[in-house]
């Protein structure tokens, strides 16, 4: 859940009916304003990229360590912020220009922040680890006493339960094993940690960018999966996907065309004309859950951005403001899990950015080549089966994800990065890591399953082995079991 889930801290976690009414009025006005801005091309555009990486704090027994408040105070780094659970933190990058040695710069920046975090964690007798779902996490860890001490999180929990009429959240995920459980708060969401990429997009091509990100979500999940286990059960290659969707399961209003819209979802269709469609869908289909009122002019879009932050599309449009106060548009690509290594993380970014860059340059819009229903099917197939999943591609191509990625998508990514004039050694280096991962078939999920198949079903041992490999800093295709 990104730090811009709701931007800044909110003043209170209790709301009156009047708050909801006023908030809705302001949301409507700000949505109209965005419509005008999009029509007038009022958004600034710089070719920039940034990320958010969620991480776990764990103690010497490799169990979650709920100390993020102490940790963050001692660290005192504005790029590292709290997350929903007190054993999670989020590492952010400064935006970087998408050119030349951008991926090297991102890698160096991440290494610096990550090492600072690890050193600080060690001073507190802990470790920092990035992984989609911590394998030895227990359901008891996800209690309200482990919620970060911020009113926005308390409010979120309160309002989700209110909309569910206090019915517990039901988790039902069927993979190799079958997990069925109920949970009475939103803390399950804290189990799903991600690497979220932010890409600035020009307003007039925003629909193109958004649709391309949807099309690429299936292949990205297949290539990067790192979350096979939850509460000791072996589920999907990327269990984070169904878990997040079920962990804040409050639907929107039913829609005759689009059916029942969920707050965490792949979305209901491609964008047809303008990004405004997303914000209008937010306004008309999703009940307000955090009606915090801000004393700011409509041009700040404070209410629209807060509301958008409580709707977690796997590809989410964001509006931000630069240091000069100019608004810009970003796409937040949320499908990639955290981990396994920093090199894998940056390689995943290079793969996505390269494929995006190539797709948006195509003369014919790629969404005319692959129906939305197939892009969505690809996404869930890939989350279930990773590189083994059957994926559909352009020109009626279909095949195993690994084959499709090697034969079609890596060359696509390479040509996209070349168009961006990325340093050619860096293209070789980062896409080479992806190539090796695809050739060996060893994603983070595959390595975790292989480890358990070899050493037995001990989730603490798996977590310890994973942490040890991660600290060596080599990419996952090199990891031994």
**Token pair recorded at residue 278:** 């997303």
**Sign of torsion over alpha carbons 232, 238, 244, 250:** negative
What CA–CA distances, in Å, run from 157 to 8, 77, 147, 250, 264? 17, 27, 10, 11, 15
Half-sphere exposure of 470 (CA within 13 A, CB side): 26
> What is the C-alpha separation between 99 and 107, in angstroms, rounded?
14
Provide the 10 A C-beta neighbour count for residue 458. Answer: 15
Beta strand 264-265 pairing with 312-313? parallel
> What is the C-alpha separation between 271 and 367, in angstroms, rounded?
9
Provide the 10 A C-beta neighbour count for residue 481. Answer: 14
> What is the C-alpha separation between 143 and 155, in angstroms, rounded?
15
Q: How far from chain centre, in Å, is Cα 150?
A: 21
What CA–CA distances, in Å, run from 448 to 407, 461, 469, 476, 481? 26, 11, 11, 10, 9
What CA–CA distances, in Å, run from 210 to 173, 203, 204, 280, 350? 28, 11, 12, 15, 18
What DSSP string describes 87-103? TEEEEE---EESSBTHH
**Smallest Cα–Cα separation from 195: which of 334, 4, 49?**
334
Q: What is the pTM of this model?
A: 0.96
Per the listing, tokens 């700040």 go with 300
Q: At what angle do helices 424-440 and 410-419 cross, to 10 degrees?
A: 170
Q: Mean pLDDT in each 10-residue stretch from start to end of the chain (481 residues)?
A: 50 86 97 97 95 98 97 98 97 97 98 98 98 98 94 88 87 97 93 98 95 98 98 98 88 54 90 96 92 94 96 96 94 98 98 98 94 97 98 94 97 98 98 98 98 98 98 97 95
Residue 452: left if φ>0, alpha if ψ -120 to 50, beta else—which one? alpha
**Smallest Cα–Cα separation from 168: which of 157, 179, 155, 177?**
157
What CA–CA distances, in Å, run from 420 to 58, 415, 416? 39, 9, 6
Q: How far from chain centre, in Å, is Cα 294?
A: 27
> What is the C-alpha separation between 213 and 255, in angstroms, rounded?
24
**Helix (H) or strand (E) segment spanning residue 216:** helix 206-224
> What is the C-alpha separation between 263 and 36, in angstroms, rounded?
26
**Token pair recorded at residue 464:** 């310890």
**Sign of torsion over alpha carbons 429, 433, 436, 438:** negative
Could you tell me if 359 and 201 are in contact, meaning their C-beta atoms sit under 8 angstroms apart? Answer: no
> What is the C-alpha separation between 184 and 172, in angstroms, rounded?
14
Could you tell me if 207 and 360 are in contact, meaning their C-beta atoms sit under 8 angstroms apart? Answer: no
**What confidence score (pLDDT) does residue 259 get?**
53
């Amino acid at each position: 859940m990104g730090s811009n889930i709701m931007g800044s801290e909110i003043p209170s976690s209790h709301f009156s009916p009047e708050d909801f009414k006023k908030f809705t009025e302001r949301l409507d006005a700000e949505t109209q304003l965005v419509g005008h801005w999009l029509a007038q091309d009022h958004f600034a555009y710089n070719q920039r990229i940034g990320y958010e990486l969620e991480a776990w704090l764990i103690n010497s027994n490799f169990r979650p360590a709920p100390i993020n408040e102490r940790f963050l105070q001692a660290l005192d780094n504005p790029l590292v912020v709290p997350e929903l659970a007190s054993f999670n933190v989020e590492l952010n990058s400064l935006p970087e220009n998408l050119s030349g040695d951008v991926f090297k710069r991102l890698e160096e920046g991440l290494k610096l922040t990550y090492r600072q975090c690890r050193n600080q964690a060690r001073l507190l007798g802990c470790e920092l680890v990035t992984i989609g779902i911590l394998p030895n996490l227990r359901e008891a860890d996800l209690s309200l006493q482990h919620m970060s001490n911020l009113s926005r999180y308390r409010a979120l929990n309160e309002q989700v339960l209110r909309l569910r009429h206090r019915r517990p959240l039901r988790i039902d995920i069927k993979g190799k094993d079958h997990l069925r459980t109920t949970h009475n708060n939103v803390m399950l969401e804290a189990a799903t940690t991600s690497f979220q990429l932010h890409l600035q997009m020009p307003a007039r091509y925003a629909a193109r960018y958004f649709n391309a990100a949807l099309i690429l979500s299936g292949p990205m999940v297949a290539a990067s999966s790192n979350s096979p286990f939850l509460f000791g059960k072996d589920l999907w290659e990327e269990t984070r996907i169904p878990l997040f969707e079920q962990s804040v399961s409050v639907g929107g209003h039913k829609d005759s065309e689009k059916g029942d819209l969920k707050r965490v979802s792949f979305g209901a269709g491609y964008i047809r004309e303008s990004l405004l469609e997303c914000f209008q869908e937010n306004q008309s289909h999703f009940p307000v859950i955090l009606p915090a009122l801000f004393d700011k002019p409509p041009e700040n879009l404070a209410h629209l951005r807060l509301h958008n932050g409580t709707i977690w599309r796997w590809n989410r449009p964001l509006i931000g403001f630069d240091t000069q106060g100019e608004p810009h548009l970003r796409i937040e690509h949320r499908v990639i899990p955290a981990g396994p290594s920093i090199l894998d993380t940056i390689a995943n970014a290079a793969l996505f950015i390269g494929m995006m860059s190539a797709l948006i340059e195509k003369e014919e819009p790629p969404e005319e080549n692959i129906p939305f229903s197939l892009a969505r099917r690809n996404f869930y197939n890939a989350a279930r089966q990773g590189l083994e999943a059957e994926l559909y591609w352009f020109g009626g191509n279909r095949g195993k994800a690994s084959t499709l990625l090697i034969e079609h998508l890596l060359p696509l990514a390479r040509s996209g990065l070349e168009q961006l004039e990325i340093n050619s050694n860096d293209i070789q280096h980062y896409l080479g890591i992806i190539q090796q991962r695809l050739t060996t078939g060893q994603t983070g999920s595959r390595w975790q399953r292989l480890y358990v198949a070899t050493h037995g079903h001990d989730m603490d041992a798996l977590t310890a082995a994973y942490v040890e490999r991660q600290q060596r800093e080599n990419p996952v295709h090199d990891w031994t079991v």
